[in-house]
Structure 1
Amino acid sequence: MLDQLQRRLGLRTDSVIFFASAALTILFVVTTISLTDTVDSVFTKASDWILTNLGWFYILGVTTFVLFLIWIALSRYGHVRLGGQDTRPEYSNGAWFAMLFAAGIGTILMFWGVAEPISHYADPPEQGVKPESAHAAERAMAFALYHFGLHTWAIFCLPALAFAYFVYQRGLPFRVSSILHPLLGDRINGPIGKIVDVTAVVGTLFGVSVSIGLGTLQINSGLHELFGLPQNKLVQVLLIAVVTAIATASVMSGLDKGIKILSNINILMAVGLLIFVLVAGPTLFMAKGIVETTGTYVSSVVPLSFWNDTFANTGWQGNWTVFYWAWTITWSPFVGIFVARISKGRTIREFVMGVLALPSAFTVIWFSIFGMGSFDIEMNGSGGLVKAVVKEGDVPGALFTFLQNYPAATLISALSVLIVVIFFTTSADSASMVVDMLCERVDEKLPTPTRQRVFWAVTQGVVGGTLLAATGKSGLDALQQVITVIGLPFFVIAFVMMFSLLRALREDFPELGRDPLAKQLAARSATPAEPPEQAAEAEKEPVG
């Protein structure tokens, strides 16, 4: 019946995954609107339990991801090229970096670049640190970079690498269930695989919806600052409609013309904003700060990777770090599959080092400049950031309050709004493409109709807009609680990814376990296997 329905609609998809995901999404939205208090209560309790009792598991787990990825990149398996030894990357390093950055945490850096450092500066996470002191500023940078550096990108990199390997090495579809292939074999196409993929689709939609909400709030705050536009539900829904329309147009134009062009333009604009703040602000203070903050991050990342706030037990880590990890893990199928899609032809070593190192290095520079600029405003300037962001809780407006202290504030604020809009658009665009991949038919290699990607792009906007219109901020809060709960099974699956990937590498490249120089890999990947007769003759030849 479902197959007949999709044929009538002109779709080319796995009907079970597609319609089950769509139905669950609609059911959740309707239930949330109708029974907001009940849904919020259930998921709040579940989320609070996870944050309280499993926080240590998240902290240790993400650190394990980082260590595993670094190990596999430096190991003999680092020579394995995704797609075969003769395959070369489809995109240049610059275009590749722009796309993976824009689809990853570009919007989040715009949102938190000022807000997080100034929050930890005014309210230090660690006991014994005096608020609004030089020491508080140093620790604030350490925590901000811990949250958005290697650890966040490890959460994205691990599934991205697993997807890329199983798709390009074993010819499996772009689905989360494909990572279970070493364990289940062809049974990934059965009920267990369907459940995993439906969960991935719904989780991705919810994760994107939270970012849609955050992006909308920041855009609304910027337009309020520029034009006095009201900050209310109607304006926010209209903003979502406009951005969804742009994302839909990008989807219809395809990956190369849509996401690639938007990403390249946006990364240039973001770098332009970064350079402006550096030049127009306290340049020497920021330049020194970049160097010092890099050292602070390097010296702090190991202790913070295992810090659990055990003795003070303030609950801070649950509200910040654990929530970040839980939220980020719901994004991991989306970002992971998208990064895998644009990374064919790179070796495992290039892949891991690129995905971990490049965005993390840019993050260090970004937070150093905006964070140090924020501290300078509070320590040596007119102040006001602590009051606006921390005391008054205007987190979405933090960037625009910051820019009021710079020349051409109106123009630069308008540019910042545009950057957020494009980051927002590329995320929605990328997510719709990835969700469409998750619903792809295994037995059909033809390109999927554009209408499917358009459907998911519109669905994302409808979910975000409906929640904002129906329940306002409480609706987004409820959704955040939901994805914290949904994030737990994804977190468990991430451990399965490590096991499956390592098992698959050992099965596919057994010689790498014996060859310390990995010389056999090049011959294996670059030349076809010998015919049985030749192989038998080779075995008869004397060695040496």
Structure 2
Amino acid sequence: MKNDNLKQGGDYSIAQLGDPIVLTLSVGFVLLFIGFSLFDLQGVADVISGGFAWTAKIFGTYFQMLLLATFFIAIGLACTPAAKAKIGNLAKPEMSTFRWLSIIMCTLLAGGGVFFAAGEPIYHFVVTPPAFDTEPGTAAAVSNAMAQSFMHWGFLAWAVLGTLVSIVLAHAHYVKGKPLQPRTILYPVFGERIMSGWLGSVVDACCVIAIVAGTVGPIGFLATQMSFGLSELFGLTDGITSQMAILLVLALIYITSAMTGVHRGIQFLSRMNVFLALAIAAIIFVFGPTLYLTNTYFQSMGEYVSSFMTMVSMTSDTAPDWWMQWWTVFFFSWFIGYAPLMAIFVARISRGRSIREMILAVAIMAPIATTMWFTLLGGSGIFYQLNGVIDLTEALNNFRFDVATLTVAQALPGGDFMALAILVLTTVFVATTGDSMSYSIAVVSSGHDQPNTFVRAFWGLAMAVTAGILLYMGAGQIGALQQFIVITAIPVSLIILPSLWQGPKAAYAMAREQGLISDQKAELPEAG
């Protein structure tokens, strides 16, 4: 359903296709990154690596506290009467619950979660995380390894992507008529000054750059993973030609999906992905080590809850710098960088849902589903590693997660068939991330719920072309760009910081406007 407060559809002037400052800064950054990489490949990588390490050390604890506060405030808000307020002033949701949950599951942490689901738990199994002291590679290390993976991809990660920030955006957009742009997050703080001035454009540009840096990585790495997988399964050549062909097919899928919109392409891909993931999960659970996976999940979830504060409060003073940089701080920075545009997407698809439904779906249900998926794939991998069926110690010490995914998949029931199915699943998951981000960047550029299809296609193509150029230079340069999202997390974290108190205020404002709670000030007795 279209938002009546704002101009919709395809009636755009050229100026409405994008903020020129946002376009200049964001596209300019990509062009400068590519240009400097062509001039001095290693120099660019070294500069970003240095900034990455500095950011992780100085701001790592702040990032951890931000995610922790967001989760607990959001859950607390979900328990209040204000959480009954409906988003978008609709009595009924725009889409069915299954479709809505499918889109949430497939467009938030989808691409990264699937990519790391096999390898990360096994890595923490063979290299004990600093929060624990168990002997690596032993049965006692299993629940700790899974719990550490749950920490990175669980409640905190999901909460920052679509709870408090989405509430602030929903109130400003659907009630106040403000555009769905990152600058709108700061509207309750700065008022109209942020909406029309250059500062608002810089805010939007920072968020677009962060999302491009974070999305180009999965797109590029998916091409390398698929190329490697097809080479192992079918003997095809693993090289730049096959990687470019895979990238072209992937781009066609997610650009087409983004152009057709939330209610068509994005929804279709998400539902198809959920059905495929459920089928794969069922095969793993029924025909794999069923009892082992069941016991591992309950033990690991218990360890996750009991060691929650120990894991989340690890700092560079209590853990090696390299570990914090490449695990907890890297992931948390990645999620912070994604937060504004993901929140825009969640606010867009959640019209008609209550605030409580949105918070519980994003911060509770989705993380539980993610931990189950990690247990099925990563837990199976640990089982095979523990029993000597596979040995991924060397590959994971070199961070070869593409090797880990394929190796675990081939060891699963169904062998090569399951490996191919998981490669297809990973591809579609990355495609759903690509289409949702292309759509969200287009929304930011135009400020409309229904951005012009040309703008959606432009940003989808821009990310694919960037990934292709960087792949041609070498996969390490894609890694360098992905590291840059840790640096962009600094300004983005400041943008979303006010949502810690503005989120609850917006929720109560919506509840009062919808007559769900009374204005307590009006009920106070007069003095005397």
Q: Is the CA contact 1:58–1:325 (under 8 Å) kept in the aligned structure 2?
A: yes
Aligned counterpart, 1:77 = 82
The one-letter amino acid of 1:468's match is L
Superposed CA offset, 1:73-103 (max 9, x none) = 122321222123x532111111111101111
Q: How far apart are residue 133 of structure 1 and its match?
A: 1.1
Matches within 5 A, 1:208-247: 208-247=215-254
Aligned counterpart, 1:17 = 22
Partners of 1:54 and 1:253 in 2: how far apart?
39
Which SS does the other structure have where 2:95 is aligned?
A: coil
The one-letter amino acid of 1:424's match is V
The one-letter amino acid of 1:153's match is W
Aligned counterpart, 2:99 = 95
1:367 aligns with 2:374: yes
Q: Is the CA contact 1:163–1:340 (under 8 Å) kept in the aligned structure 2?
A: yes
Identify which of 20, 25, 36 aligns with 1:31: 36
Q: CA distance change for structure 1 residues 168 and 234 in 2, over 3 Å: closer, same or farther?
A: same
Partners of 1:449 and 1:492 in 2: how far apart?
30
Which SS does the other structure have where 1:396 is aligned?
A: helix
Partners of 1:254 and 1:312 in 2: how far apart?
44
Aligned counterpart, 2:490 = 488
Q: How far apart are residue 252 of structure 1 and its match?
A: 2.9
Which SS does the other structure have where 1:229 is aligned?
A: coil
Matches within 5 A, 1:298-337: 298-308=305-315, 310-313=317-320, 315-337=322-344
Identify which of 155, 158, 166 aligns with 1:153: 158
Aligned counterpart, 2:190 = 184
Q: Is the CA contact 2:75–2:359 (under 8 Å) kept in the aligned structure 1?
A: yes
Q: Is the CA contact 2:180–2:449 (under 8 Å) kept in the aligned structure 1?
A: no
Question: Which is further off, 258-267 or 284-293?
Answer: 284-293
Identify which of 48, 58, 66 aligns with 1:53: 58
Matches within 5 A, 1:469-480: 469-470=472-473, 472-480=474-482
Partners of 1:74 and 1:262 in 2: how far apart?
33
Partners of 1:313 and 1:413 in 2: how far apart?
35
Q: Is the CA contact 1:13–1:448 (under 8 Å) kept in the aligned structure 2?
A: no
Q: How far apart are residue 217 of structure 1 and its match?
A: 2.4
Aligned counterpart, 2:457 = 454
Question: Which is further off, 498-507 or 367-376?
Answer: 498-507
Q: Is the CA contact 1:11–1:452 (under 8 Å) kept in the aligned structure 2?
A: no
Question: Which is further off, 99-108 or 393-402?
Answer: 393-402
Identify which of 106, 114, 136 aligns with 1:131: 136
Q: How far apart are residue 166 of structure 1 and its match?
A: 2.0
Partners of 2:122 and 2:438 in 1: how far apart?
34
Q: How far apart are residue 8 of structure 1 and its match?
A: 9.2
Q: Is the CA contact 2:139–2:386 (under 8 Å) kept in the aligned structure 1?
A: no
Which SS does the other structure have where 1:404 is aligned?
A: helix
Matches within 5 A, 1:82-481: 82-84=87-89, 86-126=90-130, 128-157=133-162, 158-188=164-194, 189-308=196-315, 310-313=317-320, 315-387=322-394, 389-391=395-397, 393-441=399-447, 447-470=450-473, 472-481=474-483
Superposed CA offset, 1:31-77 (max 9, x none) = 23323233222222221111122222222221111111112212232
Which SS does the other structure have where 2:411 is aligned?
A: coil
Q: CA distance change for structure 1 residues 203 and 313 in 2, over 3 Å: closer, same or farther?
A: closer
Q: How far apart are residue 312 of structure 1 and its match?
A: 4.9
Structure 2, unpaired ranges of 5+ = 1-10
The one-letter amino acid of 1:369's match is L
Bigger radius of gyration among the two: 1
Q: Is the CA contact 1:234–1:469 (under 8 Å) kept in the aligned structure 2?
A: no
Q: How far apart are residue 446 of structure 1 and its match?
A: 9.1
Q: CA distance change for structure 1 residues 243 and 301 in 2, over 3 Å: closer, same or farther?
A: same
Superposed CA offset, 1:427-464 (max 9, x none) = 111111100110115xxx69543111111110010111
Which SS does the other structure have where 1:521 is aligned?
A: coil
Q: TM-score if structure 1 supplies the norm length?
A: 0.87
Q: How far apart are residue 299 of structure 1 and its match?
A: 1.7
Q: Is the CA contact 2:82–2:508 (under 8 Å) kept in the aligned structure 1?
A: no
Q: How far apart are residue 504 of structure 1 and its match?
A: 4.1
The one-letter amino acid of 2:177's match is G
Partners of 1:422 and 1:403 in 2: how far apart?
17
Q: How far apart are residue 146 of structure 1 and its match?
A: 0.5
Partners of 2:143 and 2:22 in 1: how far apart?
48
Partners of 1:145 and 1:100 in 2: how far apart?
18
Q: CA distance change for structure 1 residues 187 and 391 in 2, over 3 Å: closer, same or farther?
A: closer
Partners of 1:404 and 1:392 in 2: how far apart?
20
Which SS does the other structure have where 2:134 is aligned?
A: coil
Which SS does the other structure have where 1:397 is aligned?
A: helix
Partners of 2:496 and 2:509 in 1: how far apart?
20
Q: How far apart are residue 394 of structure 1 and its match?
A: 2.7
Q: Is the CA contact 1:63–1:306 (under 8 Å) kept in the aligned structure 2?
A: no
Q: TM-score if structure 2 supplies the norm length?
A: 0.90
Q: Is the CA contact 1:98–1:264 (under 8 Å) kept in the aligned structure 2?
A: yes
Partners of 1:96 and 1:506 in 2: how far apart?
24
Which SS does the other structure have where 2:77 is aligned?
A: helix
Q: CA distance change for structure 1 residues 10 and 222 in 2, over 3 Å: closer, same or farther?
A: farther
Question: Which is further off, 481-490 or 365-374?
Answer: 365-374
Structure 1, unpaired ranges of 5+ = 1-5, 513-518, 525-534, 540-544
The one-letter amino acid of 2:225's match is Q
The one-letter amino acid of 1:408's match is G
Partners of 1:502 and 1:59 in 2: how far apart?
20
Q: Is the CA contact 2:171–2:510 (under 8 Å) kept in the aligned structure 1?
A: no
The one-letter amino acid of 2:481's match is L
